[in-house]
Amino acid sequence: MTAYGKPLTPRESGIDGLTIWDLPVHGDNRGWFKENWQREKMTAAGLPDFGPVQNNVSFNDAVGTTRGIHAEPWDKWVSVATGRIFGAWVDLREGPGFGRVFTAELDPSVAIFVPRGVGNSYQTLEPDTAYTYLVNDHWSPAASYSFVNLGDPALAIAWPIPLDEVEISEKDRAHPVLAEAVPVPPRRTLVVGADGQLGRALRTALAGRVEVEFASRADLDLAAPDLASARRWRDYATIINAAAYTAVDTAETPEGRRGAWAANVTGVAALASVARENGITLVHVSSDYVFDGAADRPYTEDDPVSPLGVYGQTKAAGDAIVGTVPRHYIVRTSWVIGEGRNFVRTMAALSERGVSPTVVSDQIGRLTFTEDIARAILHLLDTGAPFGVYNVTGGGEPTSWADVARAVFAAVGGDPARVTDVSTEEYFAAATGPVAARPRNSVLNLSRLEATGFDVPDAAMSLRQYLAASA
């Protein structure tokens, strides 16, 4: 007998992510009505916004029809349109929950959300039972599936009708016992631009995580017309986009402008489309160059963008595109230092050679080391921080590039007094090619990142550690 008038209420099952839901059913002498899937109400109540793409119905004539136990690489929203079932669910995902069992009866007033990798099975308790389920992916022969035997004693499922008295397919009877079942691996993480300086830092930070893949441009071309089918994207949970065109001065040339827009906008748009269509979390790295640097305070994540040059324009456009992906993190940073040739190493080399450089003193910001950007990205992902834009730089007092140069000279045993201040205009006065306008103020407000519990490193201390490690 279907219960009427229950409020929409979730209940935990003991299996991570598997939740059983009471559904409001309204009935009278004509029959009943229910909202079997109502995205706005159900996601507000805590159901994952899992993006269903297909609705399936399995009609069962007889009492005792038994099906399962099948685990697929997609999420399900399972309910009953008519009749009643006894359901059994088994966690077949890799991890400490593997083999955990939950059972419950479902009638039209009860539904259950079954996350990817949890085995699903049922036995009908009434004739003419219509079992329905929404899924967020289409069946594919290339997908990875797992199965376990309905009658495995290790599961100890108390089927209402003994399995030797009911209708079961030979295929389901032949499924392996739990000890021989193949665990469902977690969804993967893909790092794009893995050979760049941030990509190399992410390789180090993610070393040992078997679910992580790294791709250079040779491995994955974001401009390829077949990007949407280049991989089975539903197997991925996260894409970290560490690829970008960063030659800010070259971007002011005709060829550089085309390259910057292709990498920072067109490629990002293709990646965002993949993420949007497949429920993937997209992490994208932005830049202080989206601002004009005219503010007299640190920039917040919500300040309007006003880029001065082509590079900044393409980064701002890429940010706007990524912002349309439901699950996204835009990590906005500045003055990035990592492996390879960079300002800090150049200054250290000049000090050791006895060169006295002139360095710009009217651009203000904080150094940001790639290992700290990588650590911040993983922090946002691992803690499930709210999606959106986060400023990620080193902390402490802002400095000029000339101040940084003096700190480098001092750290490597040189004389900081050999560094001479110069204005941006004076520094570039003798340039023979295009020069991009630089923001004078690149200081970013870090309070939103700190509110997530991230320990922002002091930029000056990070500089000393970087130089010590490079010595």
* Catalytic residue set: 70, 133
Q: In angstroms, rounded to a whole number, what is the distance separating the alpha carbons of residues 75 and 42?
A: 15
Count the neighbouring beta carbons within 10 Å of the beta carbon of residue 388: 13
What is the secondary structure of 16-77 as a DSSP string? TT-EEEE--EEEETTEEEE-S--HHHHHHTT-------EEEEEEE-STT-EEEEEE-SS-EE
Instruction: Of 69, 66, 133, give the one whose Cα is nearest residue 99.
Output: 69
Type of residue numbered 460: A
Q: In angstroms, rounded to a whole number, what is the distance separating the alpha carbons of residues 85 and 133?
A: 13
Output the CA–CA distances (angstroms, integers) from residue 267 to 200, 226, 239, 263, 330, in the order listed.
Answer: 20, 12, 13, 5, 16
Look up residue 178 and give its two tokens: 């739990």
How does 144-180 read in b/e, with b if 16+ C-beta sit within 10 Å? ebbbbbbbbeebebebeeebeebebeeebeebeebee
Instruction: Of 73, 347, 88, give the one whose Cα is nearest residue 185.
Output: 73
Instruction: Of 223, 263, 224, 269, give the one whose Cα is nearest residue 246.
Output: 263
Q: In angstroms, rounded to a whole number, what is the distance separating the alpha carbons of residues 343 and 369?
A: 12
What is the secondary structure of 155-175 as a DSSP string? T----SS-GGGS---HHHHTP
Cβ pair 367, 337 in contact under 8 A: yes
Look up residue 303 and give its two tokens: 């300040």
Output the CA–CA distances (angstroms, integers) from residue 444 to 228, 332, 386, 458, 463, in the order listed.
Answer: 35, 9, 19, 14, 18
Look up residue 24 and give its two tokens: 């409001």
Instruction: Of 112, 76, 111, 159, give the one whose Cα is nearest residue 3.
Output: 111
